[in-house]
Amino acid sequence: MAIPTPKPAWLDADLELLADNATRFFTRECLPHQARWREQRRGDRDIWLKAGAAGLLCASIPEEYGGGGGHFGHEVAITQAHAHSLAGGFSNGVHSVIVAHYILRYGTEAQKRRWLPKMASGETVAAIAMTEPGAGSDLQAIRTSARRDGDSYVINGAKTFITNGYHADLICIVCRTSDAPGAKGLSLVMAEVKDLPGFRRGRLLDKMGQHTIDTCELFFDDMRVPVEDLLGTDEGQGFRQLMEQLPRERLIIAVGGVATLERAVQETLAYVLERKVYGQPLMAMQNTRFVLAECQTLTTVARCFVDDCVRRALTDELDLATAAMAKWWVTDTVGKVVDACLQLFGGYGYMNEYPICRIFADQRVGRIYGGSNEVMKELIARAMERT
Ligand SMILES: Cc1cc2nc3c(=O)[nH]c(=O)nc-3n(C[C@H](O)[C@H](O)[C@H](O)COP(=O)(O)OP(=O)(O)OC[C@H]3O[C@@H](n4cnc5c(N)ncnc54)[C@H](O)[C@@H]3O)c2cc1C
């Protein structure tokens, strides 16, 4: 048994029940399909409908828009259960925590009523398309353009690394609606892409890990969307909108990271208690004991820090720099802990059939996406300069 950490005050009975239900769902509906999903590099489309029926999509969106009527704590409970189960299959984080909240925060009443209920049921899958071949960390270098022509935007450009990109029906596209330089010309335009002329999905990208989640290139070639599908009332607000929402997005990556740490330590402890070397359990070796003690300590520290960030997020007190700290430190710690755990498995740790091997490959991207860890440190340093 790994050592339990203190229960945070925000984790009430309702959230614990939700986490249990979510764990049962991922175990029943996702785990049996892992091998096939890995092979095809994506989950099946119907997992979205099943997750919607189980109340796992848009849990923090008000009931009047078809959501679960919960708060950020509900997303945390689901995200932890998902990460801990190693079930993959789809990115609820992008769909429910990111895109649904852009719509809730910046959408018109008509947009909320049009998109959110179908996202909550899983009929609509959402993605966010920021990254381009020439613009990753530096979002101000985005070139995808949305030129106004009558009642339409005519969108041209290419996006890459887009999570949920294969299944997505609704894509939040970060694009330029004017020639204003840098951040000023950026807007968020929603595109309903099913059968939309000028829209094309590229290949499913062949990633190092996270093989059950679809990641795609997207291409827009004179793709027309109605002007009313701009998110928010004015053009040029995209960069500000992105900056406002980023703390929660980064925190949810850290939340998943803590669950990964807990699972990695749990798997490793079980293995070293069982595995015999020189006639005794691996756990009897002092090195094993010290390594695991360090991993458990780091996991506990990460859990306490992230729980405190969640508490702050629930009261709207989570600042950009603290969220950046959580994102970089937790994902960095996951890398170190999982590497140390894998070593204790010896050659078995290098075999895909062992969960620790898949965790090792799946977690690596945590230091890259959601804003790379170097960018997180830059944000923290800027906040330090200002104080
Ligand atoms: C599996 C996966 C899923 C993704 N999902 C999405 C998605 O759904 N939607 C989306 O829009 N994007 C997505 N991304 C893209 C991801 O957000 C970018 O890869 C990330 O922002 C980094 O951009 P880049 O790859 O262009 O690297 P670059 O920006 O080229 O960075 C290269 C290196 O330079 C460093 N660097 C950059 N700027 C600085 C700086 N100022 N100071 C110091 N070092 C710096 C970086 O940290 C990195 O180490 C995904 C990526 C992956 C791998």
pLDDT by position in tens, the chain (length 387) = 577 777 888 899 999 999 999 999 999 999 999 999 999 999 999 999 999 999 999 999 999 999 999 999 999 999 999 999 999 999 999 999 999 999 999 999 999 999 999 999 999 999 999 999 999 999 999 999 999 999 999 999 999 999 999 999 999 999 999 999 888 999 999 999 999 999 999 999 999 999 999 999 999 999 999 999 999 889 999 999 999 988 899 999 999 999 999 999 999 999 999 999 999 999 999 999 999 999 999 999 999 999 999 999 999 999 999 999 999 999 999 999 999 999 999 999 999 999 999 999 999 999 999 999 999 999 999 999 987
Tell me the one-letter amino acid at 353. E
| 374 C-beta closer than 6 A to ligand 1 | yes
Is 8 a member of any domain?
no
Residue nearest to atom 30 of ligand 1 (CA): 136
What's the gap in Å between 108 CA and the centre of ligand 1?
31
Decide: 313 and 307 in contact? Cβ < 8 Å.
Answer: no
What's the gap in Å between 372 CA and the centre of ligand 1?
6
Residues 247 and 382 placed together within one structural domain of the fold: yes
The active-site residue, picked from 249, 262, 267, 274, is 249
262 part of the active site: no
What's the gap in Å between 131 CA and the centre of ligand 1?
8
Tell me the one-letter amino acid at 77. A
Residue ending a domain, choose from 103, 124, 145? 124
pLDDT at residue 3 in the model: 76
pTM above 0.95, yes or no: yes
Residue nearest to atom 32 of ligand 1 (CA): 137
- CB atoms closer than 10 angstroms to residue 3: 11
Q: Is 175 helix (H, G, I), strand (E, B) or coil?
A: strand
Structure-token pair, residue 102: 């852009």
Is 253 a member of any domain?
yes
Q: Which domain holds residue 168?
A: 127-236
Residues 249 and 378 placed together within one structural domain of the fold: yes
Looking at the 3D structure of the chain, how many domains does it have?
3
Residues 120 and 19 placed together within one structural domain of the fold: yes
Rounded Cα distance, 66 and 44, in Å: 23
